[in-house]
Chains A and B, each alone.
Chain A
Amino acid sequence: MEPENIIEMLHITKEFPGIIANDDITLQLRRGEIHALLGENGAGKSTLMSVLFGLYQPEAGEIRKNGQVVKINSPNDATALGIGMVHQHFKLVDVFTVLDNIILGAETVKLGFLQKKEARRRVEELSQRYGLKVDLDAKVEDITVGMQQRVEILKMLYRDNEILIFDEPTAVLTPQEIDELMDTMREFAKEGKSILFISHKLNEIMAVADRVTVLRKGKCIGTVETKNTDKQSLSNMMVGRPVQLEVVKEKAKPGEAVLQVDGLCVHSRTHKRDAVHDVSFQVRAGEIVCVAGIDGNGQSELVYGLTGLEKCAAGSVTLCGHDISHASIRQRGEDMSHIPEDRHKHGLVLDFTLEQNMVLQRFREPQFQHLGFIRKNAVRQYAEKLIRQYDVRSGQGPVTVARSMSGGNQQKAIIAREVDRDKPLIVAVQPTRGLDVGAIEYIHKQLVAERDRGKAVLLISLELDEVMSLSDRILVMYEGEIVAELDPAATDVQELGLYMAGAKRMAKEGEGA
């Protein structure tokens, strides 16, 4: 009789300079279960998994497989023990084909020659059996993120792994892909594979996991069965204080139109059709207008068109009474804050310090420069003020290099900078992506507070919960066009989903719809 627990991590302690990332953590994974690992950013989830996967050596504690103590010194050891991992950032060779990636490191060779035929047959079989659709001959750089993830999963299956680790697998997926992934995970569990699922999304954990182990600040808070708990108590365990999951807000009192968009078209960089086609809407002071839609339906390009990162091909954009259709990014910035979609590409200069990032747009203002010389003290004081006010945590305060900060705090820094610029319009693109409950709560509060101060907020979000709870009006984008305008109070997620999938469409109401 095999023991109940296939993997036991007992009293694991892993220290890094200055912090204890894992402090005496015990995790027991039962055969055939989906076990979620829940915790905020920096709670030590990924560290613990890296220990299991052989990337780090713990200072104390032991790992047992089927009751036997094992030593995992490298990912190769882990693979030999049947442990496979899908990393948060996929470890694929972009210029290799899907098949090459799957067999990489586990190639069948004969006299030094690759035996791809056999490999192809096995991969095809696996892909069919689990419904993991991939194009074996496509290059990884050409396929979608969802398919890349399926490639990672096939990699694990190809190596006959029986313990599968998923590190925040849903962060990059669309709602449909998330559902598919959940089904696949359940299928694996049914077959007796054991799954460790790292996440900070409570919905998903409640939906798919059998048990949850909660980590906070490197410590194990407890392990609970999902059927004996609920979202609220899980989030309390995770954050360490009661968290408001619902957004509390008054009814909007919209004022004058701040942003008026008429017939906007933006060319696509990748294909011939317009990424944004004939889009018209307005955002008024004191309301949050949310653009919902499945990723890749032109939301990003819409924002590029509004903010000037991409040229407007046709139509007009009016901001605070000025036509800005052809204005420079800097001119547009006079009346617009922009929380960008990609905080590493656009939001921050990662090699700059926090204080340098805080004045990225404002360094030309007289308070920060004199005759072209930067007023260092003024910048320092301003950064310190923002850090205090918005509770941005970092190792060395204003002189911390942005790259060394956690994702959540990087995002907080951007929000602090953009909100404090105090412009009539805030364009926020997926402001809570990849953040944990505590940070999301905070950012939502900020956006509502700005709305109540009379700002116009244009929110672009892929999270339906966020769309429903935060917005005063919802615009649904599908294939570059706005197909519906909805009142969140009078609609539900199902209806929204139909519009997002393009199954339903509202008749155009003429101008300003």
Chain B
Amino acid sequence: MNQRLSQLWGRDGTKSVLASLISILIGMAVGGVIILIVGLANSTLGLNSAWEGIRLAFLGLFSTGRDASGALTFGFNPVNIGDMLFRATPLILTGLSVAVAFKTGLFNIGAPGQYLMGTAVTLMLALGIPSETVPPALIWLIAFLGGTLAGALWGCIPGLVKAFLNINEVLACIMTNWIAANLVTWVFDGSDFRNLVENTKSGYIYKTSFNNVETAKLGLDQIFPNSQVNGGIVVAIVIAILVWILMSKTTLGYQLKACGANRHAARYAGIADKRNIVLSMAIAGGLSGAGAALYYLSGNTEFFWSTYQTLPAIGFNGIPVALLAASNPIAVVFTGCFMSMLDIVGQQITNLTAYNEYITDVIIATIVYLSAFSLVIKMLLSGRKKRRAAAEEEENGELPGDGEETVSFGQDGEPAVLPGASEAEPAQGPEESAPSPEESSPGDEGEQPGKGGEKA
């Protein structure tokens, strides 16, 4: 049992999960402190409100409002959980987008642009294809695939520029983000999809339900009544599993990762490095595009088309989602949900307490910011693990590959092989443990590969 525990502890995945959990906790704790400070500093809030705010920050997902006496009540809240799943859907996909790029050595900061292009194409197709003649389900599929493809093509651009001109993908991504933002505004400015009927909602594109296109609920509305949840979350989870299989089980994933980890070595081994870089970015872009498609095909979301001033936050939020998940596609599902939960929590705090919505945003931003420290935490954990492993190894004594030589190490070294060593001081024989094998000496050779790598 103990052994199994230590095995579990030794696994890299365990450390990643633990690191993320710890950083989330730290983030939440600091968020709590900020709530407290703001509460105490503000005469309308006070300690009581601060305590309510902190409780909501941690348990907002299960908040059910206030009871007759004005106290906060908590319990199963299907609306909150359903909304969380709904909002998590695009976040999971942009998170996957960033995670795939990370795994292949690229930083996809272009997710907002890819997301926008996906949005535009999805809406055009979903609203443009007449539902009188084409079955809505088919339109849904076409729009979804179209949005995904648009994101993929948009992702290709930084990929191509990186592969063939060796221009940093971060630069190209930022540029393509703004090109996308302006392009989308321009395209919709002259389109027929503007919702000019409801004058109270100027600047919005029709919901796709206007054309009878919306994502199937798949019975989720039974479990979470009155919430916005739909089958999109199921699609997102399936995509996450597919991405995980792609990255860890297939030769394609192996090639992509090889190119990302060492482009030169991949090329040396006959792997088409340029093709794989473009492909990585295309997959990443496709995932962002799919996220946009799932969000806007829900049927109850409206798109504000004047994006030339702002990029969609969902695209950028993919970065902390991926970081928090240590780029593991399956973990992205959970971290995506966590991030959307914070959204819900913020809503609850704004609705139920006197905290204003902007300070709520500050708190959430703090939590997100500190949550992304999981890599640092993981490093600290690894340090601890190494020390523990070392202690174990010493107890077990035997190290592989050293067996025979250990035997020959007597109390006075090896005089037999010391010809000419007249001044030799007898090497003191170790009593308890085997001598170090050459491969694990951290001082001598251990640091060499790392530096060599950096140099290359």
Find out whether the CB atom of B417 lies under 8 angstroms from the CB atom of A42.
no
A-chain residues with CB within 8 Å of residue B249 when the two chains form the complex? 373-374
B413 contacts which of A221, A333, A351 (Cβ < 8 Å)? Answer: A221
Q: Which residues of B contact A224 (CB under 8 A)?
A: 420-424
Q: A352 is contacted by which of B250, B258, B427 (Cβ under 8 Å)?
A: B258
Query: Are A352 and B449 neighbours in the complex by a CB distance under 8 Å?
Result: no
Among B29-37, B197-205, B358-366, B388-396, the one that faces the other chain is: B388-396
Instruction: Point out the residue from B250, B268, B387 that lies within 8 Å of A347, measured CB to CB.
Output: B268
Complex Cα gap A18–B261 (Å): 28
The answer to whether the Cβ of A21 comes within 8 Å of any Cβ in the partner chain is yes
> Is B192's beta carbon under 8 Å from chain A?
no
Please give, as numbers and ranges, the residues of chain A lying within 8 Å of B266 by CB-CB distance.
Answer: 349
Stretch at the interface among B41-49, B173-181, B232-240, B433-441: B433-441
- Determine whether the beta carbon of A374 is less than 8 Å from that of B251: yes
> In the complex, which range does the number of interface residues on chain A fall in?
35 or more
**Which B residues are CB-close (under 8 A) to A374?**
249-251, 254
Contact B424 A41 (CB under 8 A): no
Query: B234-292: which have CB < 8 Å to A?
Result: 249-252, 254-255, 257-258, 261-262, 264-272
Of A214, A364, A407, A409, the residue contacting B421 (CB under 8 A) is A214
The docked-state distance in angstroms from the alpha carbon of A307 to that of B269 is 10
| Segment 24-56 of A: residues with Cβ below 8 Å from B | 24, 26, 40-47, 50, 56
In the assembled complex, the Cα of A130 lies from the Cα of B173 at a distance in Å of 53
User: Interface size (B, Cβ < 8 Å)?
Assistant: 64
Q: Does A267 contact B (CB under 8 A)?
A: no
Contact across chains for A228 and B420 when beta carbons are under 8 A apart = yes
**In this assembly, does B419 line the interface, its C-beta being within 8 Å of a C-beta of chain A?**
yes
Those of A322-366 within 8 Å (CB) of chain B: 328-333, 338, 340, 342-352, 356, 360-361, 363-364
Question: If the complex has contacts A222-B423, A237-B418, A241-B417, are A406 and B269 also in contact, measured as CB distance less than 8 A?
Answer: no
- Whether B405 is near chain A, meaning CB under 8 Å from some CB there, is yes
State how many angstroms separate the Cβ of A429 from the closest Cβ of chain B: 11
Q: How far is the CA of A497 from the CA of B261 in the complex (A)?
A: 40
User: Quick one: given A17-B386, A44-B444, A220-B427, are A351 and B420 in contact (CB under 8 Å)?
Assistant: no
Check B251–A230 contact: CB distance below 8 A: no
Is B456 interfacial (CB-CB < 8 Å)? yes
Does A372 belong to the interface (CB within 8 Å)?
Answer: yes
* B452: Cβ under 8 A from any A Cβ: yes
Nearest Cβ on chain B to A85's Cβ, whole angstroms: 14
Q: Which of B270, B427, B441, B453 counts the most chain A CB atoms within 10 A?
A: B441
List the A residue with the shortest CB-CB distance to B429: A219
The answer to whether A47 and B265 have CB atoms under 8 Å apart is no
A348 near B425: Cβ-Cβ < 8 Å: no
CB distance from A115 to the nearest CB of B (A): 33
**Distance in Å from the Cβ of A303 to the closest Cβ of chain B?**
11
Q: Which of B176-235 contact A (CB under 8 A)?
A: none
Within the complex, which residue of B387, B390, B401, B443 is in contact with A393, where a contact is CB–CB below 8 Å?
B401
A363 touches B270 (CB 8 A): no
Minimum distance in angstroms from A386 CB to a CB of chain B? 15
What residues on A are CB-neighbors of B267 within 8 Å? 309, 329, 346
Contact B417 A240 (CB under 8 A): yes
In the bound assembly, the distance between CA atoms of A166 and B343 in angstroms comes to 59
- Is there a chain B Cβ closer than 8 Å to A16's Cβ? yes
* Shortest Cβ gap from A248 to chain B (Å): 21
The interface residues of chain B, by DSSP majority, are classed as helix
B446 at the interface (CB under 8 A from A): yes
Complex: A14 Cα to B436 Cα, angstroms: 12
The answer to the question of B70 belonging to the interface, with a C-beta cut-off of 8 Å to chain A, is no
Whether B419 and A233, one on each chain, are in contact in the complex, defined by CB atoms closer than 8 angstroms, is yes
Interface flags for A374-418 (1: CB within 8 Å of B; 0: not) read: 100000000000000001011101000011111111100000000
A23 within 8 A of B: yes
Q: Which residues of A contact B386 (CB under 8 A)?
A: 17
Interface contact A345-B264, CB-CB below 8 Å: yes
| B448 proximal to A (CB < 8 A) | yes
Residues of A within 8 A of B398 (CB): none
Task: Using known A-B contacts A18-B390, A223-B424, A372-B250, determine if residue A360 contacts B258 with beta carbons closer than 8 Å.
Answer: yes
Q: Are A349 and B390 in contact (CB under 8 A)?
A: no
* Residue A207 CB within 8 A of the other chain: no
Q: A237-B417, A344-B453 are in contact. Are A220 and B425 (CB under 8 A)?
A: yes
Q: How far in angstroms is the closest Cβ of chain A from B418?
A: 6
Say yes or no: A14-B251 contact (C-beta < 8 A), given A338-B268, A393-B438, A406-B438.
no
Least Cβ–Cβ distance between B94 and chain A, in angstroms: 25
Instruction: Say if the beta carbon of A73 comes within 8 Å of chain B.
Output: no
Q: Given the complex of chains A and B, what is the CA–CA distance between A222 and B425 in angstroms?
A: 5
Given contacts A363-B251, A403-B453, A407-B449, contact A348 B265 (CB under 8 A): yes
A88 interfacial by beta-carbon distance below 8 Å: yes
Complex Cα gap A397–B249 (Å)? 20
A214–B421 alpha-carbon span in the complex (Å): 10
Interchain CB contact (< 8 A) of A344 among B272, B441, B452? B452
Contact B438 A43 (CB under 8 A): yes
* Residue among B405, B420, B443 making CB contact with A50, cutoff 8 Å: B443
Q: Which residues of B contact A406 (CB under 8 A)?
A: 438-439, 441, 444-446, 448
**B456 touching A41, Cβ below 8 Å:** no
Instruction: Judge whether A236 is part of the interface by a CB distance below 8 angstroms.
Output: yes
In the complex, which residues of chain B have a beta carbon less than 8 angstroms from the beta carbon of A229? 420-421
Task: Contact check, A350 vs B448: say whether CB atoms are below 8 A apart.
Answer: no
B443 touches which of A46, A338, A395, A405 (Cβ 8 Å): A46
Among residues of B, the one whose C-beta sits closest to the C-beta of A376 is B249
> A217 at interface (Cβ–Cβ under 8 A)?
yes
A480 part of interface (Cβ distance < 8 Å): no
User: Is B357's beta carbon under 8 Å from chain A?
Assistant: no
**Of all chain A residues, which has the CB nearest B250?**
A372
Query: Which residues of A, 228-253, contact B by the 8 Å Cβ criterion?
Result: 228-230, 233-234, 236-237, 240-242
How far, in Å, is B435 (CB) from chain A's closest CB?
4
Distance A89 CA – B390 CA, assembled complex (angstroms):
28
Among A19, A23, A347, A356, the most chain B Cβ lie within 10 Å of the Cβ of A19
Asked whether A298 is an interface residue with its Cβ less than 8 Å from the other chain, the reply is no
Q: Let me know if A218 is at the binding interface, CB within 8 A.
A: yes
Seed contacts A19-B441, A224-B423, A233-B421; 4 additional CB < 8 Å A-B pairs: A17-B389, A17-B391, A44-B444, A360-B265
Q: Closest 4 interchain pairs by CB?
A: A222-B424, A17-B390, A47-B443, A42-B438
Q: 23 A-B residue contacts at CB 8 Å?
A: A14-B443, A17-B389, A18-B436, A19-B442, A20-B433, A21-B442, A41-B444, A42-B439, A44-B436, A217-B437, A221-B414, A222-B418, A224-B421, A328-B270, A330-B272, A346-B264, A348-B262, A350-B261, A363-B251, A369-B251, A395-B440, A406-B446, A408-B438
The interface of chain A, by Cβ under 8 A from chain B, is: 14, 16-21, 23-24, 26, 40-47, 50, 56, 88-89, 214, 217-225, 228-230, 233-234, 236-237, 240-242, 307, 309, 328-333, 338, 340, 342-352, 356, 360-361, 363-364, 369, 372-374, 391, 393-395, 397, 402-410
